[in-house]
């Protein structure tokens, strides 16, 4: 009995030694894995840095592709996520495309924004920045830009980041002022989405600091997330929407959210001016699929025409033509600074994997290829020195810029520049409906949204 007990104790001790040795080996392997993960993270950060430097040299145009989840049909898309390649199989052949980043169907809103956030930061650093969502109707552009419920899109996430970063800059001795506008371009007519009963005729003019301005456009001071949420809700209330055969909630206009950022530092006497343009483009439409008629037919024609003008601009840029037709549409004329080498641009193309949409998907990715081939040169950072008597005011005079901007809690601005749109860009006169007087700092609380049914005879704003 004693011998058996001693033998068992020996075995237990041996097993404990083996277990301790294995624990040491596991610990060493875990340390090796952690080291390799750190090296991988550092390598990935270095790769992104080099990629960003290459993009800076190329001209600050990025192109992403996001694939909408399918409708329980075989997908016509093959994705090589690591190489950012998409192959479309349809029409008896295959079509391969390469972009800067591909988001597969199950990509979350967080994953998409993680690739966008550094781009948004550039606006706070004094650059003119534009983010576009492009694609056929029903491909998920509005979901990408605005989101749904708790799945916030690029626009609310961008604004939340700007507010957070602005607060951090204030802690470093900066004064940061934010103001926002929201407009839509409906059949080449500019409408202010922050005004009720819109009846003014807006023009695009050349403003200070290389920015395009829209006359009589309401500009609202922003200091909190609540301000931004209220602005977005009001714009959504007024945005022109309709139901089509392809989309229950189809945007009938291009919407442009404009955030102007002015930062000053009293110690360094430095003044920064950046602009963030967030653009939700109306979807390209094939009339045989949307069954558009009446007003919707005119809307579809205007949408396709303006998207064609945008393609013409990028095509001219890719070919380095001497003349770029910015003035052929309100959209491209308004965004000319960001598309002409002065700023940075990011295009998120949204595509459908459904077999019935393979042709539209190919057209969208061809547009992406054209954009990706553009080279604008290094973007301009809008930075200047403040005069001594305005060292604490981000909106004060500058040594090299003579037009001061007046700020208030709710600004209705009209630029005094004499540069206006050409004949082909002349605004369509809005309806004669009168606008009720607006208070100095009021945004209307939106009511339940109303969608215009197919073949409605008159356009409505939600």
Domain harbouring 303, CATH code: 3.40.850.10
Taking residues 407-411, report their average pLDDT: 38
Q: Is 171 annotated as a binding residue?
A: no
The answer to whether residue 36 sits within a structural domain is no
Asked whether residue 46 is assigned to any structural domain, the reply reads no
Range of the domain at 105: 57-425
96 labeled part of a ligand binding site: no
Q: Would residue 12 count as lying in a domain?
A: no
Question: 48 a known binding residue?
Answer: no
Neighbours of 252 (CB within 10 A): 28
CA 140 to CA 133: how far, in whole Å? 9
**Choice among 179-188, 210-219, 392-401 with the minimum mean pLDDT:** 392-401
Taking the complete model, does pTM exceed 0.75, yes or no?
Answer: no
User: When comparing pLDDT for 47 and 255, which is higher?
Assistant: 255
Query: Do the domain assignments include residue 37?
Result: no
142 annotated ligand-binding residue: yes
Q: How far is CA 197 from the centre of its chain?
A: 27
**Does residue 213 lie within any of the structural domains?**
yes
Q: What's the rounded Cα separation, in Å, for the pair 438 and 431?
A: 18
Residues with Cβ within 8 Å of 383's Cβ and at least 6 positions away in sequence, in order, are 126, 270, 271, 272
- When pLDDT is averaged across residues 389-405 and rounded to a whole number, the result is 43
What is the mean predicted confidence (pLDDT) over 438-453?
A: 39
CB 116 within 8 A of CB 109: no
Q: Look at the chain and report how many structural domains it folds into.
A: 1
Ligand-binding annotation for 141, yes or no, is yes
Whether 206 is in a domain gets the answer: yes
Has residue 28 been placed in a domain?
no
Q: What pLDDT is stored for residue 436 in this prediction?
A: 40
Does 450 map to a domain? no
Q: Which comes out higher in pLDDT, residue 182 or 426?
A: 182
pLDDT at 288: 56
Mean residue pLDDT of the chain comes to 77
140 marked ligand binding residue: yes
- Check whether 135 is labelled as a binding-site residue: yes
What does the pLDDT look like over 101-129, one tens digit per residue? 999 999 999 999 998 888 888 888 888 88
- Range in 167-176, 227-236, 418-427 with the lowest mean pLDDT: 418-427
List, in sequence order, the alpha helices (H) in 146-222.
Answer: 154-171
Contact status, residue 189 vs residue 148, Cβ threshold 8 Å: no
């Amino acid at each position: 009995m004693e011998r058996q007990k001693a033998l068992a104790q020996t075995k237990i001790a041996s097993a404990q030694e083996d277990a301790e040795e294995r624990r040491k080996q596991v610990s060493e392997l875990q340390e090796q894995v952690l080291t390799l993960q750190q090296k991988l993270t550092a390598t990935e950060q270095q790769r992104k840095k080099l990629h960003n430097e290459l993009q800076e040299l190329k001209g600050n145009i990025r192109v992403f592709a996001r694939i909408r989840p399918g409708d329980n049909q075989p997908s016509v898309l093959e994705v090589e996520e690591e190489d950012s390649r998409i192959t479309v199989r349809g029409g008896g052949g295959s079509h391969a495309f390469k972009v800067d980043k591909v988001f597969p169907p199950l990509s979350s809103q967080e994953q998409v924004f993680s690739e966008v956030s550094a781009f948004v930061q550039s606006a706070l650093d004094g650059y003119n920045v534009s983010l576009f969502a492009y694609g056929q109707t029903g491909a998920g552009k509005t979901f990408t830009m605005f989101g749904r419920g708790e799945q916030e899109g690029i626009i609310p996430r961008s604004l939340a980041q700007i507010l957070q970063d602005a607060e951090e800059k204030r802690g470093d001795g900066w004064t940061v002022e934010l103001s926002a506008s929201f407009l839509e371009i409906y059949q080449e007519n500019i409408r202010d989405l922050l005004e009720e009963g819109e009846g003014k005729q807006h023009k695009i003019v050349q403003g200070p600091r290389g920015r395009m301005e829209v006359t009589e456009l309401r500009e609202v001071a922003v200091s909190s997330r609540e301000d931004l949420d209220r602005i977005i809700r009001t714009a959504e209330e007024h945005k022109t929407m309709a139901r089509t055969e392809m989309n229950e909630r189809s945007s009938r206009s291009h919407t442009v959210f404009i955030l102007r950022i002015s930062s000053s530092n009293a110690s360094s006497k430095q003044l920064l001016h950046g602009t963030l343009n967030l653009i939700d483009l109306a979807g390209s439409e094939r009339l045989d699929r949307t069954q558009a008629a009446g007003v919707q037919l005119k809307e579809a024609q205007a949408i396709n025409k303006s998207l064609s003008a945008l393609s013409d601009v990028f095509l001219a840029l890719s070919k380095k033509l001497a003349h770029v037709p910015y003035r052929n549409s309100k959209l491209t004329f308004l965004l000319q600074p960001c598309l002409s080498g002065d700023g940075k641009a990011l295009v998120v193309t949204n595509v459908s994997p459904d077999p019935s949409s393979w042709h539209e998907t190919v057209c969208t990715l061809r547009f992406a290829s054209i954009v990706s081939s553009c080279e604008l040169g290094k973007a301009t950072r809008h930075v200047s020195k403040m005069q001594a008597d305005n060292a604490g005011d981000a909106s004060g005079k500058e040594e090299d810029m003579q037009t001061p901007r007046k700020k208030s809690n709710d600004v209705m601005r009209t630029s005094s520049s004499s540069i206006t749109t050409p004949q082909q860009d002349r605004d369509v006169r809005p309806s004669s409906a009168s606008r009720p007087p607006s208070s100095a700092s009021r945004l209307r609380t939106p009511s339940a949204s109303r969608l215009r049914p197919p073949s409605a005879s008159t356009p409505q704003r939600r």
